[in-house]
Amino acid sequence: MWDFASPYMAVGNQKNREPTCETYFNKFITFARKLFEKWKQLELTHNLTVVFFSRTFIRKKEDLPLSNTPSVIHTDSDGRMYCDHYRIVLNNETRTTDWESLVHRMKQAFVSYPKEVKWDLTPGKERIPSTAGQGNILEAVNMTLNLLHLHFIDRDLHRTGNSIVIMTAGNGVFEVSKNLAGITKQRMMDNGIGSDMLSLGLPPLHVIPFFLFRNDNKENTAEEAQGFDDDGGAGSSFEVPHWMNLSYVDYDDDEEAMLYKEHINDGKQTCTVSVL
């Protein structure tokens, strides 16, 4: 979200408009303003929770992200140490008229986020954020499912369902753990919770979304290393998650052409927006 997006839109025309550079987060804020305005016009009463999440690669294991919070240091398949962070920005917000005030709170949290997780570019003590494609997207989805899997108990009858919306600066290709991808898919099916992803980047020239499995198991057989196993034959090192709907945001078209799922704007839902 801190990187600069392409100055040219993914789709739409550029008539009488100069290309401009802006961060992906600014694109997200533009989308949020239009979305909240539509919610206000339709007089919706969504229950909104926004969570910022990121993955930080670290150089030294003794460097903790927060002085008052215990940290869990992990090592990926490439031998890089990392730790994951989650920040609840908005919690169960229901605004029938004043959705705009939530934008200011999200911008404040975004500005203070690097300091909270202690990102650092000092040589020898680097603590740098991962790209969106290497982040903790499935971990964030499962964290949200931990809160929603008991949705049938003490049900809020003012809302018709639950939905997870993931905003990402990536293009739809993610490096994930194969085991975690399977667990996430099963939990999504068991709970019947919808999952939508909105990408602020440019679409690739292949099918999306696309999960590229990391080699987490150091003892893989030769067949698995070449992309063959007992489950899927060739090509088992990647997956197209059909349980996740991916759309691309475009601001150059009119407001009615924004690529957002209609059921989010139809009725009342409990939404959790995760920003990667």
**pLDDT per residue over 238-253, tens digit each?**
889 988 889 888 644 4
Q: Residue 166 domain-assigned?
A: yes
Give the distance, in angstroms, between the CA of residue 234 and the centroid of all CA atoms in the same chain: 29
Domain count, the chain: 1
- 263 pLDDT higher than 50: no
**Coil, strand, or helix at residue 178?**
helix
Q: Residue 9 domain-assigned?
A: no
**Coil, strand, or helix at residue 173?**
strand
Q: What is the pLDDT of residue 20?
A: 67
Helices (H), 60-136: 101-117
Mean pLDDT, rounded, for 72-95: 86
Instruction: Return the top range by mean pLDDT from 12-26, 74-88, 142-156.
Output: 74-88
Residue 227: is it exposed, middle or buried by C-beta count within 10 angstroms (0-12/13-18/19+)?
A: middle
Q: Residue 111 domain-assigned?
A: yes
Q: Residue 230 domain-assigned?
A: yes
Q: Which residues lie closer than 8 Å to 13 by C-beta, 6 or more apart?
A: 252
If you ran DSSP here, which 8-state letter would residue 233 be given? Answer: S
Q: Residue 105 domain-assigned?
A: yes
pLDDT tens for 31-67 read: 999 999 998 888 888 889 999 999 999 987 654 444 4
| 3-38: burial string, b at 16+ Cβ within 10 Å, e else | eebeeebbeeeeeeeeeeeebbbbbbbebbeebbeb
Q: Residue 15 domain-assigned?
A: no
Q: Residue 10 domain-assigned?
A: no
What phi and psi, each to the nearest 5 degrees, are found at residue 46? -60, 150
Extract the runs of DSSP E, i.e. beta strands, from the chain. Answer: 47-58, 74-75, 81-93, 127-129, 162-168, 173-176, 194-199, 210-213, 238-239, 245-248, 270-275
Helices 137-148, 178-191: crossing angle, 10 deg rounding: 30
Q: Residue 18 domain-assigned?
A: no
Instruction: Note down the domain range covering 74.
Output: 28-216+223-275
